[in-house]
Amino acid sequence: MTVPVDLTARVALHTQAHIDSLQAEFPAQTKITEQSGPAGNHVYEFAFPKLGENLVAINHDNGKKTYLENFAIYSLSVGGEQ
């Protein structure tokens, strides 16, 4: 997923797996907020202020991991272009 640094992304995970936690590659810079969603969905909002690749690990089912690969880019307003 590609996300401009001045916007957030909302992700809905529809899974039968038990999600234990989400872990950001850059925890001091990445903001992950759990949102309310329909039954059976786990909804999260991500903000990636660090440019480039930003991995989010989904820790689930007692030790398994799945990775969401995200890429933060400049937006037109941040990059100074019109």
pLDDT tens readout for residues 37-46: 888 789 999 9
pLDDT number for residue 81? 55
Residue spans of the domains in the chain: they are: 2-74
The sheet carrying 2-4 orders its strands as 2-4, 64-73, 52-60, 19-24
Mean pLDDT, rounded, of the chain: 91
Beta strand pairing status for 8-14 and 41-47? antiparallel
pLDDT number for residue 55? 98
Q: What is the CATH number of domain 2-74?
A: 2.60.40.10
pLDDT tens readout for residues 49-68: 999 999 999 999 999 999 99
Residue 32 pLDDT > 60: yes
pLDDT number for residue 75? 86
